[in-house]
Amino acid sequence: MDPCFETATGLGRAIRNGRLSSAEATEVHLQRIARINGPINALVVVDRAGAMKAARAADRALAQSGAKSGGKKGARLGPLHGVPITIKEAFDVAGLATTSSHPPLKDNIARSDASLVARLRAAGAVILGKTNVPELCMDFQTDSPLFGTTKNAWDARRTAGGSTGGGGVAVAARLSPLEIGSDIGGSVRNPAHYNGIFSLKPSEWRVPGRGHVPDLPGQTRTVRYMGVFGPLARSVADLETALRIIAGPDGNEAEAAPVPLGPTPAFKPKDLRIAVLDSNPLVRVSADTVAVVQATARLLGKAGAKVKHAEPASFDWQQSWDDWSDLLQYEVRALQPLAERERFFARRESADPSVRSVARAARLDMAQFFAVLDRRDRVIRQCEQFLDDYDAWLMPVMPDAAFIRQKQSEPLRIDGVDHPYFFAGCSYNYLANLTGQPSIVLPCGFSRDGLPIGLQLVGKRWGEAKLLGVAKVLEKLLPPCPVPPSYKD
């Protein structure tokens, strides 16, 4: 077996069964990183010494567990025991840089692990290093002022996605079997879509965020809504394994509720009711994307699922997008001095919906802030009630496959039609952040240019276990997770 082409759960089994040592798995991944990472720039911190030390300790613990349990190795070890993984650079990993690609933090070294990093270590994971992000995780391309640009795993001219772009490329290029990222507007989902892998955005407040930047170290925590933390991987089983490790309150955030995940149901296709959205009225997706949505819907239908093209009745897509954008901007601008915010006040009539949103939120009007939260509650009720009738809602992740890298100031072109950059880039992912509902991305097809196209399954709040069960059904109907042509060996 080549450890770099195994899933995280597969590596875990092989290590616990004694077919592979953690030191071997870790060394092979480090060698591949040394050989491949340079041009694509997925990992920006490689902790060779720390990873090998942890791997050797994992092997010793495995041997000791066998001695203590009468020869049954791995009896009491974690599900990722000895498995090498990567972490998004925006999370604290003790002893390593945590900058979130923000130049003022270029010398910041984490003193402790983020909550979810500590949980992964406790489950036995070996941390290979940290992956690239755009500045303060605020883009769906990954171009860092500190670390440079990450290239797409399928075409180096194209975007890797963002903000977990380095992680998406690392998993796709087989530099890591598992990555942990963050998502407030698609940041674990669009890199999965663009690079042909899987990802999971959990329910809001399911996974603790302590040790994630932003918020900036030592400042008031303002990112309290919509931001979530979840895995990128090459199988649904890996998403489930990671979620069960990192989920649950850690005692630091009052919003986090101790809601149990519960068991993942074993569905058959005939058990499922799937709503399908080809495209929304904000930004029409590409013909390639529509073709993949329709082919996937047919695949589910032929397998026996009840499939219906549907969306919530009288749903106001533009207002819901404005509310997501405004709420995000309130969080981003909350600590900015008035002089920095004033320059946006006069731009409320801009043709770009993102700019209008900044102009509205920059005033930090508390009455308007609570009005946004009130409208958000209504959208949550609307989408939750819609999913009373369906097990999941299948829809695009992004309007098209990975685009050739460009400036944020340039419009995003979809099948020859120009759209404002951030508006288009968040026009599908925003909704699950606004509602706090979980979403799972699976690689479902390809564009005419041979680029991967992922789709997302959205479920009810706190319904990750059920959504994982639905995703496992679809995963079995699809081909295996694809390997980018340049990284097949």
Give the active site residues.
88, 163, 187
Backbone angles phi, psi at 192, to 5 degrees: -65, -45
Sheet order of strands, 126-131 included: 43-46, 126-131, 84-88, 178-183, 228-233, 198-201, 439-446, 452-458, 392-396, 273-276, 306-309
- How many residues are there in the chain? 489
The token duo for 113 is 């692990």
Reduce the secondary structure of 404-421 to three states and give it as a string.
ECCCCCCCEEECCEEECH
Task: Give the Cα separation of 59 and 61 in Å (integer).
Answer: 5
Task: Give the Cα separation of 481 and 173 in Å (integer).
Answer: 12
Task: Give the Cα separation of 443 and 401 in Å (integer).
Answer: 11
C-beta of residue 295 within 8 angstroms of C-beta of residue 301: no
Residues in a beta bridge with 256 = none
C-beta of residue 169 within 8 angstroms of C-beta of residue 160: yes
Task: Give the Cα separation of 389 and 448 in Å (integer).
Answer: 34
C-beta of residue 243 within 8 angstroms of C-beta of residue 231: yes
Backbone angles phi, psi at 311, to 5 degrees: -150, 165
Backbone angles phi, psi at 76, to 5 degrees: -120, 20
C-beta of residue 380 within 8 angstroms of C-beta of residue 461: yes
Give how far the C-alpha of residue 274 lies from the chain's centroid of Cα atoms, to the nearest Å. 22
Listed in order, strand segments (DSSP E) in 301-356 are 306-309
Backbone angles phi, psi at 237, to 5 degrees: -60, -40
**Pairing outcome for strands 439-446 and 198-201:** antiparallel
The residue type at 481: C
Task: Give the Cα separation of 455 and 393 in Å (integer).
Answer: 10
User: Which residues, at least 6 apart from 177, have a Cβ–Cβ distance to it below 8 Å?
Assistant: 4, 6, 7, 8, 11, 83, 84, 85, 171, 233, 234, 238
User: Which residues, at least 6 apart from 107, have a Cβ–Cβ distance to it below 8 Å?
Assistant: 97
C-beta of residue 442 within 8 angstroms of C-beta of residue 474: yes
The token duo for 114 is 């983020």
